[in-house]
């Protein structure tokens, strides 16, 4: 059985690690790489860096931050926010990223998914989806950090993305993000039932039990955690032990 | 004592920053290079790589580095292949037709089988535990000397090495029903299918051991 991955998610604005609620009302938490190193040392299986205002202002400052992280973090890193071209992806992969996550530019130009997957392999191409519920069992794709509607249905977009070459899906619930109310299980289940590529649940993790629910009821391959780690409400080690106690297979980590 | 100098071979395949940083973190002085003179003058050589086998071999030979890597191995200098770099140590690969490899460890590179009782997603991506292959009792004296069976490392691959001599097979990982060759060794030639530079402290222990070899 595949090991469930515990991923620390770092949302970045400029040079700062930030955190919002529903992706808005951003508060500065501190230095991204100090937190990254701490989560690495706690045994995070991967890191995700998201530049949350990059697509808004049409720029990307992540290259330097990732290059800094690559100096002393030795687990896979996914980087997203403002990637518009194969060249942007190349720059981030050369800076130490292992995968790139694309949202806004993929909606505007779905060919970008195929171009990145062909150039670097599907395993490099993560589709980032910001989902907002619009009806019973219906979710709409949002871009620009939960600000812009697209009219796209999440399930249709997921299927199209996989057909175009997406190797993994980062699924963020805008409704739950930053609320600590737990993951949007119906959303997660609707996506994991539809596709065979790995799905990372993001948005809403308030306590270790939420992770168990996302895995056992939602069927995800990985969970992204931000708020719960940033405010030290739990360590990656606490969450790993909760997973093991619930019979979920995770990476064994000696330093726990 | 001077630091160990390591050449990381740069033949245009994959991100070398993390490999470089991993080795530096373990105390090595690293030079990333495609210069045969530099490669042949260092005390350790790493052959990294991400991508397709045929492209990797074509780039190595275009740069004249296939002969250089063979020379490194023949001189008894410790050589570590990572991921595609490990696969190229074998005789040949079945990826997109048959392509000859470096022939430093007998065997071939084959697809991870998908028609098994418990088929798994291909590529094999993620953390998986290192286990002792059938017939091996421990990792005493091997690249994995500091590692305990069951410790996990990070894999990303669709093809796998199949060494013909079981004694070259140091560690496997289990993917579905398939035993995937994870570490191979023949004398001074070492290969890791996983990425030690992305496998946390376990991966760094492997790099440290290589530097001490």
Q: How far apart are CA A24 and CA A145, in angstroms?
A: 8
Q: State the nearest Cα–Cα gap between B17 and chain A, in angstroms.
A: 6
Nearest to A96 among B17, B128, B199 (CB): B17
pLDDT one-digit tens code per residue, B128-172: 999 999 999 999 989 999 999 999 999 999 899 999 999 999 999
Question: What pLDDT, on a 0 to 100 scale, did the predictor assign at position B49?
Answer: 86
Q: Which residue of A has its CA nearest to B118?
A: A1
Do the chains contact at A252 and B204, CB–CB below 8 Å? Answer: no
By residue count, chain A amounts to: 256
pLDDT tens for chain A, 256 residues: list them.
578 999 999 999 888 999 888 877 789 999 999 999 999 999 999 999 999 877 656 555 788 899 999 999 999 999 999 899 999 998 898 889 999 999 999 999 999 999 999 888 888 999 999 999 999 999 999 998 888 999 999 999 999 999 999 999 999 999 999 999 999 999 999 999 999 899 999 999 999 999 999 999 999 999 999 999 999 999 999 999 999 999 999 998 765 4
Do the chains contact at B17 and A197, CB–CB below 8 Å? Answer: no
CB B21 within 8 A of CB B28: no
Residue A153 is a catalytic residue:
no
Partner A contacted by B110 (CB < 8 A): no
Nearest to B156 among A74, A123, A252 (CB): A123
Residue B192 is a catalytic residue:
no
Q: Which residue of B has its CA nearest to A250?
A: B127
Nearest to A74 among B120, B129, B204 (CB): B204
Q: How far apart are CA B49 and CA B13, in angstroms?
A: 5
Do the chains contact at A74 and B203, CB–CB below 8 Å? Answer: yes
Query: By three-state DSSP, how is residue B117 classified?
Result: coil
Residue A151, Cβ density class (10 Å: 0-12 exposed, 13-18 middle, ≥19 buried): exposed
């Amino acid at each position: 059985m595949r090991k469930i991955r515990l991923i620390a998610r770092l949302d970045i604005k400029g040079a700062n690690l930030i955190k919002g609620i529903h992706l808005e009302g951003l508060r500065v938490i501190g230095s991204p790489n100090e937190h990254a190193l701490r989560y690495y040392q706690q045994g995070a299986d991967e890191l995700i860096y998201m530049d949350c205002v990059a697509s808004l202002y049409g720029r990307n400052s992540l290259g330097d931050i990732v290059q800094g992280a690559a100096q002393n973090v030795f687990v896979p890193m996914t980087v997203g926010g403002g990637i518009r071209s194969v060249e942007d992806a190349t720059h981030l992969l050369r800076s130490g990223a292992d995968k790139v996550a694309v949202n806004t530019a993929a909606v505007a130009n779905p060919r970008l998914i195929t171009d990145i997957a062909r150039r670097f392999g599907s395993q490099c191409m993560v589709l980032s989806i910001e989902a907002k519920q619009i009806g019973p069992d219906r979710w709409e794709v949002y871009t620009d950090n939960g600000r812009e509607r697209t009219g796209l249905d999440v399930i249709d977009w997921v299927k199209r993305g996989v057909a175009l070459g997406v190797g993994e899906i980062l699924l963020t619930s805008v409704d739950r993000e930053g609320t600590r109310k737990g993951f949007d299980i119906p959303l997660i289940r609707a996506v994991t039932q539809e596709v065979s590529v790995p799905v990372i649940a993001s948005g809403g993790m308030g306590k270790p039990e939420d992770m168990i629910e996302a895995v056992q009821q939602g069927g995800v391959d990985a969970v992204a955690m931000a708020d719960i780690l940033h405010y030290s409400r739990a360590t990656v080690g606490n969450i790993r032990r909760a997973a093991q106690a619930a019979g979920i297979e995770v990476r064994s980590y000696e330093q726990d | 004592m001077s630091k160990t100098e390591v050449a990381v071979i740069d033949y245009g395949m994959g991100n070398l920053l993390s490999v470089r940083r991993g080795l530096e973190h373990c105390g090595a002085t690293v030079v990333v290079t495609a210069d045969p003179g530099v490669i042949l003058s260092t005390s350790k050589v790493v052959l990294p790589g991400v991508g397709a086998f045929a492209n990797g071999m074509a780039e190595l030979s275009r740069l004249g580095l296939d002969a250089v890597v063979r020379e490194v191995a023949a001189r008894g200098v410790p050589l570590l292949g990572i991921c595609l770099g490990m696969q190229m140590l074998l005789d040949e690969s079945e990826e997109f037709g048959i392509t000859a490899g470096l022939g430093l460890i007998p065997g071939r590179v084959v697809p991870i089988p998908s028609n098994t009782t418990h088929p798994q997603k291909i590529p094999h991506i993620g953390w998986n535990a290192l286990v002792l292959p059938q017939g091996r009792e421990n990792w005493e004296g091997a690249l994995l000397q500091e590692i305990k069976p069951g410790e996990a490392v990070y894999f990303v691959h669709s093809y796998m090495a199949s060494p013909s001599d079981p004694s070259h097979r140091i560690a496997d990982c289990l993917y579905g029903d398939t035993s995937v060759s994870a570490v191979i060794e023949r004398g001074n030639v070492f290969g890791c299918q996983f990425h030690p530079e992305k496998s946390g402290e376990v991966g760094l222990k492997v790099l440290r051991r290589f530097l001490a070899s």
